[in-house]
Amino acid sequence: MNDLSEPTWTRDRIAALGPVTDVPTAASILDISPDLAYSLIRKNEWATRVLHLGRAIKIPTKDLLDLLYPVTDQPTPVAS
């Protein structure tokens, strides 16, 4: 679905969106259609928290970053 004319969603670009983003933008970041995103949200199958603010639906950008760039808790091996 990614159109080559659209810029790539980098970690910095996602973080620059602010604390939350809308569903179409979150869908674009995940390279899915907005219709699929709304469908997943309706079925409670969306991969992050969903904020219902009146009629608006917002997705926390931190959750998107955590989904795409997980922090590994594996300890660094110690040289012997």
In the chain, how many domains are there?
A: 1
In a domain, 21, yes or no: yes
Residue 30 has pLDDT above 70, yes or no: yes
In a domain, 42, yes or no: yes
Model pLDDT, residue 72: 77
Residue 1 has pLDDT above 60, yes or no: no
Q: Where would I find the H helices in 11-78?
A: 11-15, 23-29, 34-42, 61-68
Q: Which domain holds residue 46?
A: 11-68
Model pLDDT, residue 71: 84
Residue 4 has pLDDT above 70, yes or no: no
The pair of structure tokens assigned to 72 is 């590994």
If pLDDT is split at 50, 70 and 90, which confidence band does 80 have? low
Read off the pLDDT of residues 40-63 as tens digits, 9 standing for 90 and up.
999 999 999 999 999 999 999 999
Taking a C-beta distance cutoff of 8 angstroms, is the pair 15, 61 a contact?
A: yes
* Angstrom distances, CA of residue 21 to CA of 9, 12, 24, 63, 78: 13, 14, 8, 11, 41
